[in-house]
């Protein structure tokens, strides 16, 4: 019998578009990852501070982290 150990990652960022919270949650679901915690706070300058903790298979988490990195990079450019 083979068992798979779940790995975890924490992602923290500040973004301009608060809709990224929903996009990241949906992306995690598509990658087969689950979240342990989600925190998002917007302030007066319209920036949104995000903190996610995800668990899942190491390869799925690697893909998720790469995709989130691209979303955040695009958000910072616009």
Q: How far apart are CA 31 and CA 40, in angstroms?
A: 21
What is the per-residue pLDDT for 72? 95
What is the per-residue pLDDT for 45? 74
For the residues 68-77, what does the mean pLDDT come to?
92
pTM: 0.85
Report DSSP letters for 31-56, one per residue: HT-EEEEEEEEE-TTS-EEEEEEEEE
pLDDT tens-digit map of 4-51: 557 999 999 999 999 999 999 999 999 999 999 999 999 877 899 999
Ordered domains of the chain (ranges, CATH): 8-77 (3.30.70.260)
What is the per-residue pLDDT for 77? 75
What is the per-residue pLDDT for 5? 59
């Amino acid at each position: 019998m083979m068992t798979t150990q779940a790995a975890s990652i924490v992602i923290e960022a500040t973004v301009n578009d608060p809709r990224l919270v929903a996009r990241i949650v949906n992306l995690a679901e598509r990658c087969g990852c689950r979240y342990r915690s989600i925190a998002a706070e917007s302030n007066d300058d319209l920036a949104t501070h995000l903190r996610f903790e995800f668990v899942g298979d190491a390869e799925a988490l690697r893909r998720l982290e790469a995709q989130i990195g691209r979303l955040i990079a695009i958000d910072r450019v616009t």
